[in-house]
């Protein structure tokens, strides 16, 4: 095996393990998960047992203490599964929700929750987005007022991945700081079953069908002051900090999706006969797939180069914004052509590429819309 420029042998070992798990446990069952709208808990438990849910966390909590590159490997391989609803279920738990608890939580909070999170016994969601506030975190309206040794939350959250079946939610709310909006966001740990907290409804999505997504409501929901993550008023900065990790994850996932789509399409056009010969014999198709393969290979290297720099402690805000915009758009371009080259079959619900194209559409929206990412890049060039 040719050594990867940015990876070590342990990263490639992780890749092999995840790819084998996907082949043995995901592919045989995931069509059913698409119909049911959720990934079964036993699958997440098994992933916890294998160490996949704690690859970045310390060994004292049951993790593997690996780095950002390992996160990218996990995300790419889950993207390659062709079931992105499954992939995002896992990645929100590992790299978009539980990280808030680990990064900002107290030693006591970590000790209580992290072992179960890493083992897959407790599933986590992050609740920031609202009907009128997505990428604009400072625009959230969910409020939290202090009453004695508690906070009382009121408001709603929208498009929350793992929102139906999570056990623990990292909820962003506005506390009255009297200062700028960036200093009034606080993150709270809210457990499933807390009075005043409810899953308003499960959302019916275009893609990511096996990922449960919810609208949440908070009506005089009282949580202990001990459930504040970090300091009051510092939640905005915690969210901004983790956006870098989240966007590397989504970029890697997108490139896994894109490569899997290209692999499927190459197999198809080399066997599908048209006008007495395989579609692969058509120069326009060959060259288009060749160019897309080159661009995916380049973007993939950009993802890993950025992950390596992040692991080394470098400031990669510009590069992360670049790769999120680049990969989110590129995966959709790949899917468009791959559906096209599958012909009528590419439009049928029974085909893998049709599902993948639906799943990929959100990559240019979620985790930072392309337009927002390009503005972040523009500020830094």
Residue 33 phi, psi (nearest 5): -65, -35
Asked if residue 222 lies in contact with residue 48, where contact means CB atoms within 8 angstroms, the answer is no
Helix (H, G, I), strand (E, B) or coil at 57: coil
Concatenating the DSSP letter of every residue in 213-234 gives: EEEEEEEEEEEEGGGEESSTT-
Single out the catalytic residue among 77, 130, 246, 319: 246
Q: How many CB atoms lie within 10 A of CB 144?
A: 28
Helix (H, G, I), strand (E, B) or coil at 276: coil
Owner of token pair 């623990």: 168
Instruction: In whole angstroms, give the CA distance from residue 187 to residue 175.
Output: 10
User: Which residues fall within 8 angstroms of residue 77, CB to CB, at 6 or more apart?
Assistant: 15, 18, 19, 22, 256
- 77 among known catalytic residues: no
Six-digit token string for 246: 């989240």
Exposed (0-12), middle (13-18) or buried (19+): which is 181, by Cβ within 10 Å? middle
Nearest to 158 by CA among 135, 129, 191, 136: 129
Nearest to 357 by CA among 30, 82, 118: 82
Instruction: In whole angstroms, give the CA distance from residue 47 to residue 31.
Output: 19
Asked if residue 255 lies in contact with residue 126, where contact means CB atoms within 8 angstroms, the answer is no
Instruction: In whole angstroms, give the CA distance from residue 307 to residue 134.
Output: 25
User: Which residues fall within 8 angstroms of residue 362, CB to CB, at 6 or more apart?
Assistant: 206, 207, 208
The catalytic site residues sit at 246
């Amino acid at each position: 095996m040719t050594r990867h420029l940015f990876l070590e042998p342990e990263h490639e070992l992780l890749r092999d393990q995840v790819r084998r798990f996907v082949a043995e446990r995901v592919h045989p069952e995931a069509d059913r998960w698409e119909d049911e709208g959720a990934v079964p808990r036993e699958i997440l438990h098994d992933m916890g047992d294998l160490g996949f849910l704690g690859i970045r966390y310390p060994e004292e909590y049951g993790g593997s203490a690996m780095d950002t590159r390992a996160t990218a490997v996990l995300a790419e391989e889950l993207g390659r599964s062709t079931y992105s609803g499954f992939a995002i279920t896992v990645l929100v738990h590992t790299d978009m929700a539980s990280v808030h608890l680990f990064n900002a939580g107290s030693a006591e909070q970590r000790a209580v929750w992290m072992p179960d999170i890493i083992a897959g016994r407790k599933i986590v969601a992050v609740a920031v987005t609202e009907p009128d506030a997505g990428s604009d975190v400072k625009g959230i309206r969910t409020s939290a007022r202090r009453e004695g040794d508690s906070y009382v939350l009121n408001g709603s959250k929208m498009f929350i991945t793992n929102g139906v079946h999570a056990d623990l939610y990292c909820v962003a709310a506005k506390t009255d700081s009297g200062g700028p909006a960036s200093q009034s966001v606080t993150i709270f740990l809210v457990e499933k079953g807390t009075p005043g907290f409810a899953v308003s409804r499960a959302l019916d999505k275009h893609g990511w069908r096996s990922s449960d997504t919810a609208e949440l409501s908070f009506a005089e929901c009282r949580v202990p002051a001990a459930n504040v993550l970090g300091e009051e008023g510092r939640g905005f900065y915690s969210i901004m900090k983790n956006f870098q990790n989240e966007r590397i994850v989504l970029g890697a996932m997108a490139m896994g999706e894109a490569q899997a789509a290209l692999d499927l399409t190459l197999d198809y056009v080399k066997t599908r006969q048209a006008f007495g010969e395989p579609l692969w014999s058509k120069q326009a198709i060959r060259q288009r797939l060749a160019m897309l393969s080159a661009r995916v290979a380049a973007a993939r290297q950009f993802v890993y180069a950025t992950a390596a720099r992040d692991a080394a402690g470098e400031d990669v805000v510009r590069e992360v914004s670049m790769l999120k915009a680049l990969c989110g758009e590129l995966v959709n371009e790949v899917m468009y052509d791959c559906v096209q080259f599958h012909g009528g079959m590419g439009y049928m619900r029974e085909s893998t590429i049709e599902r993948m194209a639906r799943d990929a559409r959100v990559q240019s929206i979620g985790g930072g819309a392309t337009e927002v990412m390009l503005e972040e890049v523009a500020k830094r060039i």
